[in-house]
Amino acid sequence: MATKCQQCPACKVAVLNRYNSDPLCGPCLRAARDAEGIVPLWVWDSLPMRQALARTDPGAFLAVLRAAAGLSQLELANLVEGWSQSTVSLIERGQRATLYDVRELLRVADAVDMPREALLPLIMGRQDATLESESRIFGSGKGELDRRTFNVMAAGLALPVVLPQVQIPERVGTAHVHYLRNCAERLYRRDQNVGGAALLRQAVRQFHRARQMLDESDYPAPIGRELLAVAGDLATCAGWLAFDAGDLVSARQLYGEALLMAGSADDAVLHTHVLTNMSMLSCYVARTSGRRKLAREGLRFAEQAADVARHEPSPPLHTLISLRRSNAAALLGDSHTFKSAIKRAKVELDRGPHADDPEWIRFVGAAEVIGHEAAGHLNLGHPDRAERLYRSVLDDSTLDSSRNRAYYGALLAGALLEQGDETQAIGEGMAVLPALSHGVTSVRTLNELRPLRLAANNKTEEFCVRFDQAARALSAA
């Protein structure tokens, strides 16, 4: 617990309240957890983290890490072999110089799977220090992996070959499971504003680490069940990010791994999550390939999800299942089932959230329901209705996800193009492109604009130039 006159270790200005157990002041805590405007080098990257490293402040580094990762001093100590709670406390108060020993710093980095590149602010003395080329992620030299090769291999074909070696503990405890679970929640939160391409490698690496713990570490049976569930959650998260990054092959492979783990862990919510994501993926392939009957698979996945979740109390979970059913039904031309599913989704949503709702399901709200209703009308051949609904989604002030706002903007442009209104469609598409050029790394969103790019070719040079710029920015994300 903070003492009465202890300063915030991050900003060195605010005084921490003695009754508040948070390691940082309110503004610094939000900055450490939100990390807005930061293209992440690793899961817990943030401006306060970079600032602490740049000024060689090990106490602040640990405090920011704990604040962002939601760890107590004891939990962090349990992650670093040989440390105690008092060790962490002394370092944070500047009374122990342990982390000035680079070997100890690297032990902490390995314990939380912090890549070496994330230590660049410490080495360079600058908070904005990064490697100049994109080789920090995928390599740009001859013979090194390109993105597609990485993504396919990372989906489970040859993970140990693709990813740098990770450090895993000899024995896994509650703190390790808690940390991995918080990593998954962080990735889900950041995805809402950053998109899949920038986060995919981090998620795959965390999944690989959890899976290695399952295979190689020791743990009691209860911890093993929790570790299995969190590994499945990380596989699901990585699958979703691969989907948003435009790599459908990797997404399906990762979902397959997640499905096996969910079944082994006997986790109904995780099992439902994987099935609803697989339903969305199948319907996406059906729509974009023009082979709409493939949506039958998406409908089967949605029905399986409903069966698995039949005893689960979460209204948002049942809302999501109904939305996935509506999506498949509309693609199959079943207007009655589509309308019935949307009605059921609205009824479930009106029941409100549940106390045990997981982090990943918080995106399910009124905007999501209306967005699915719009998509259904578009798939049923009513682009005018879809346009009105997409506009109402974009007018919703509660839609605070930059990625989702860009995606719905792209879908609105598509609905206008379906009506033959190229001028308005291009105008809406132009409004989306700045986000894709500056931080929203969603290839899925860009792909929704590709028909518009084809339609605008040799007609609207500005849109074509900006689209191509966004495409280049995403390829370097």
* Structure confidence at residue 131 (pLDDT): 60
Identify which of 331, 284, 282 has the alpha carbon closest to the alpha carbon of residue 304: 282
The SS3 of residue 116 is: helix
* Structure confidence at residue 128 (pLDDT): 84
* Structure confidence at residue 197 (pLDDT): 93
* Structure confidence at residue 419 (pLDDT): 96
* Structure confidence at residue 37 (pLDDT): 65
Return the sign of the alpha-carbon dihedral for residues 211, 213, 218, 222.
negative
Please give the single-letter amino acid code of residue 347.
V
Task: Give the residue carrying structure tokens 């390939």.
Answer: 289
Burial (Cβ within 10 Å: 0-12, 13-18, ≥19) of residue 310: exposed
What is the gyration radius of the CA atoms in the chain, in angstroms? 23
Question: Which tokens is 119 given?
Answer: 């230590």
Residue-wise burial string across 101-140, b where 16 or more C-beta atoms lie within 10 A, e elsewhere:
eeebbebbbbbbbbbeebbbbbeeeebebeeeeeeebbee
* Structure confidence at residue 163 (pLDDT): 53
In order along its 477 residues, the chain shows pLDDT tens digits of 444 568 888 888 888 887 778 899 989 988 888 776 677 889 999 999 999 999 999 899 999 999 999 999 999 999 998 899 999 999 988 888 777 788 888 899 999 999 888 998 988 888 887 765 333 333 333 344 455 554 544 544 444 444 556 789 999 999 999 999 999 999 999 999 999 999 999 999 999 999 999 999 999 999 999 999 999 999 999 999 999 999 999 999 999 999 999 999 999 999 999 999 999 999 999 999 999 999 999 999 999 999 999 999 999 999 999 999 999 999 999 999 999 999 999 999 999 999 999 989 999 999 999 999 999 999 999 999 999 999 999 999 888 899 999 999 999 999 999 999 999 999 999 999 999 988 899 999 999 999 999 998 867 889 999 999 999 988 876
* Structure confidence at residue 76 (pLDDT): 95
* Domains observed in the chain: 26-125 (1.10.260), 144-266 (no CATH), 365-477 (1.25.40.10)
How far apart (Å, rounded) are the C-alpha atoms in residues 244 and 254?
13
